[in-house]
Structure 1
Amino acid sequence: MKNHNISFVYLIIGLLVLGSCSSSKEEQVSPIIEELKNEYAPDKRVAIFDLKFENGILKGETDQLKGLQELKAKLGNEGIKFTDKVRILPSQGLGNQTQALITLSVANLRSEPHHSAELSTQATLGTPLKVLKEKEGWYLVQTPDQYLAWVDEAGIALCDSLKMNNWKESEKVIYTTTTGFAFNDKEESEKISDLVAGNILQLAKISQDHFEIVFPDGRTGFIPKSEGMLFQNWIKGGELTDEKLISTAKTMMGTPYLWGGTSIKGVDCSGFTKTIYYLNGKIIPRDASQQVREGSLVDTLKNWENLEVGDLLFFGQPATETSKEKVVHVGMWIGNQSFIHSRGRVRISSFDPKSPLFDEKELNRYLKTKRYRNSPSKGIQNVQEIGI
């Protein structure tokens, strides 16, 4: 009986020692993971580095292969042995279909893989996506502005590299009218899809009055030539001008505010500024807190005379001794002490106290202005750079 008791005591001591060692290893590895996460995926909206070390197992998932390789090297240098169970994205379960094209005029992308989840962002017809993984008919995708979100399989056409390259190299048409439809024939007798400005379709033929087009999912149809342009002609349309930016913004006047919206159908504040620039050939970051990191700083002191049309104005809470700056709103300067933005609806506000459009609320929470036009900023791309 005594021997059994002694063996049991030794077993308990052994387990405690092993548990202590395991806990010690985890405490050693966790800061390394956090350091590399801050380097390779500081913004979870655009990069994935969800890793952890437990009981000698390195697990989780990431789309940052270089960061994972560096992590493994660091653990090796520290003499830490581990079993590698990390899932590298894109998932192997996708096979070679790791790309996709949006097939709806506007697809809703959500924070989780179900329809009741928060609307994170939107993507318009013809937008190319990276596909990272699938779950019950939903796909985690990355948009050209690097934003990560989930889309229902009904809104995309999955592609392999060959199909995507064929799409990118084909001649295309961009829909330039605010809203409209694609029809099943030149007589426009039956609608096959609604369309919004910025939708991109493959060109099949050109007739006197219509473009014959092909959707990414293979559907064919017709749109009036007066409502679209050959894509290559559109992207060669010249430099951004005050007139183009203001005209584009004003086509959305009165559009209702929609959290997560980035299309004519509804926009939030940063979705509005993003859409203005997209319809003028530029891809900019999705959220206001991301947009504020790009461009050139123009003003922080309310010197309105220094601002130019197209500058983005940011609003929120300034930094204090105990808190960081918090950007919560953005609008675009249109001159004459006025800016256009989405708050409740797309509207014009003024900083002139004598104007009927005077906006004291935004004046009081103004933070700074950044210039996007002619700004060498990594997060501002030309549409053709993303390979549409």
Structure 2
Amino acid sequence: MELEDYIEKYLNNTASEAEKQLVDAWFEKVQNTESYPSYNRNAIEYAMWVQIEAAMNREKTTRPARIFSFGRLSRVAVLVGVVALLGIGYYQWSKHAATTMAYNNGHRVSRKAATNGGFIAMQQDKMVKIEDLAGDAATVIGNLSFRKSGDGIVINSVGNHFSDTSAIAIITPKGKFLQLTLPDNTVVKLNVASELRLAQNYLQQRTLQLSGEAFFNVVHNEQLPFRVHVGNAIVEDIGTRFNIQAYEGQATQVVTTVIEGAAKVISLNNAHTQVIDTKTITANQQAIVLPKPTSVAILNNADEIKSAVAWEQGYFLFYNSDIKDILRSVGDWYNVKFDIGANVKGAFSGGLSRAANLNAMLEVLETSGNCQFEIISPNEIKVTSTESKSR
């Protein structure tokens, strides 16, 4: 059996004495070890705390001002969090078992999480699948070369056509994500359902266009600033690591979250010919630019900041998020379509590893009590409101 199987039996009081001793020994080892890298350890512990909050079904909970260590949590609470992170889902602390899904013909949907992949496109006349790139030889498209390296691709400039501003697009469809190393060694993690465009003379201007979401680890150059054009905004690096989310159809068009350093966020008019506002944000701050031209709003909500960058760490984290926004994010990650009923509404807080399969995610969402899922086909899921059915 896997670790999560032993933990599940432990929590359900069905484990043998030997199995209980095994889980106890594992818990003591985890509680006392400091061998994990602090960044990953903190991410895991915070995600566990989110899981535990939802599992205990608290009506009003004050979230911790800082990340709790394993030693600060009860043994059962930690084990519940581990089970959730491993993909089993939340536990309901009540007389009833966790809510069940309305599966067609008793079948679950076997949809795996997003994987590395995407396309490189140039003026619609040439498209290359990321999976077809070679690691030992570069594929040249225009004035840029592309080579597979590990789970991502490395892009370099070739030739000397410094005036060529025509763009090449890197596209990740739903269910695919990708890491890019640009010609200046800036690293970009492109989320699902996104598009990043860079000019063939990138090294002469260091300007990108983004639609969707990406996390940037920028190599700073004061003489040649790094800029991202996105929606009605421009984000300029000031020596930083930051995330930009700008999916079409969301209430807020452009959300920039700085994790390290600083970034300048510029709001433009609809014609992109006039600057409306300019703000500089630093680590652990967010800037929001609305679709309608307006000033740049700055937020300092720690929960929202953790939620915004959790995808880059491999997690879903939601804090009082609208269920429809959550379903959009989940649908893009697993490449499924949600048919959302008119009465489906409400907010949800919780989290899960992005490596979990779709079944685990849907079971977690059903613990909110606001919606129920019916599998129409492997690619389509009907969402109905449980509140409307109870009336």
> Normalized against structure 1, the TM-score is what?
0.26
Higher relative contact order, chain-length normalized (CA < 8 Å, sep 6+): 2
> Normalized against structure 2, the TM-score is what?
0.26
Larger Cα-atom Rg: 1
